[in-house]
Amino acid sequence: MTEPSWIPTSCALPTEQQPLRVAEWDQLFAEHLTTATRPDRLRLHMVFAGSTQIEQTVRDLAARESDCCSFFAFAVVPGPGSDVRLDVEVAPAYEKVLDALQARATTVAEGGGQ
């Protein structure tokens, strides 16, 4: 596995683990992402649908991501039924990382990029 080029150097996750984390996000996007929208340039809202376990899965992955990439601010918001929204916010210096995250999420959810 190779290191994704869009991961910033400020990410504290060891390089050899980064492709594994990307694969976890890819699986979540492919199996559960229903929408990814930008209410403004520094915020991304992603909605995931699935079983009652999806909220815990999203919370766990977001918490682990926060541990290594402190430039992300995550908020998990339970929605109707078993839907859950993940709000992601970044500082202006990380806007391109948020752009890349949204592009990857959308591409993988549509069946490409894995």
Domain regions of the chain by residue span: 15-108
Segment 24-75, tens digit of pLDDT: 999 999 999 999 999 999 999 999 998 778 999 999 999 988 887 788 899 9
pTM score = 0.83
Task: Provide the pLDDT confidence category of residue 81 given band limits of 50, 70 and 90.
Answer: confident
75-101 as b/e, with b when 16 or more CB fall inside 10 Å?
A: ebeeeeeebbbbebbbeeebeebbebb
CATH architecture of the region 15-108 = 2-Layer Sandwich (3.30)
Average pLDDT, the chain: 84
